[in-house]
Structure 1
């Protein structure tokens, strides 16, 4: 799964219709170049590929600009990528970061459910790594690798548990709630005068 693919779909969905520069400008202002390795070229590549895959439709806008709009297939792909980014712990943090950036697209109940799945997976990883640490013999230094995995899973579980608690307490406006930026086409394009 690609964090860039998820982010591009999410931004197009958020605006309802957007051009490449607007998408890139948003993602760069979020710092996605750092936490998801998003580059201008990867944004335009994702736009072309998503259009080819039937997830986006392009519109020519004079003088030479192309706007993109999400299709029903794109909405389905977006939802699949977003759900997987939140529920599946990966070693690279870019997918989770992309999922968190687009979290308000989900209802509170669904977000809590997906993050609860993530929590269970992290706790299972933590316990398995802890068992490996206890059983490992030769070469002895490899035990440090399992210790790292245990620590990473444990801290990931702790953070996820905290986010679930914050969401359950009403933090952040989620899809269907007042003030949520989660509805398709709900983002406002700020125009400089």
Structure 2
């Protein structure tokens, strides 16, 4: 399976680069067919609709690089961590989201915290970087996820449309985790105990 996903990511990259640079209509047609074939295969593996995948890929023409998502942890004075009960899939996780163009990872994380929690934060230090490969957690691409230690500077904790519930909990109070967020939480606790 891993070899198949690696092959698909390479085919997708070639197709997207080709569509970005090609001017010959026959080449454009060939690259579109390659992208369609890759999308069909991704759809079978990830169980995401082919039309959804092809639209995502067409929006990412040009040199294909891994996506970047950021996450941040904040601890309470009694050692609990700020977790969010997500509205999109009903799981629990650490605050974060995808980086946007024109932002540093730290700026993206500050924006995500403000949007999702109402908190203004200070991003202190990088704890670790997590990697998702195609097929991990149903996603069709490679992505990197820096995890930061943060602290609250201002604001009042509140939920947003992205969350059902938000608050400070111990790691063993959470049952259903989003993606690799359980691993992130464990890594954050180790970091906290070392500093």
**Do the two structures share a fold, i.e. TM-score over 0.5?**
no
| Structure whose residues are more often helix by fraction | 1
Give the strand-richer structure, 1 or 2. Answer: 2
* TM-score, scaled to structure 2: 0.29
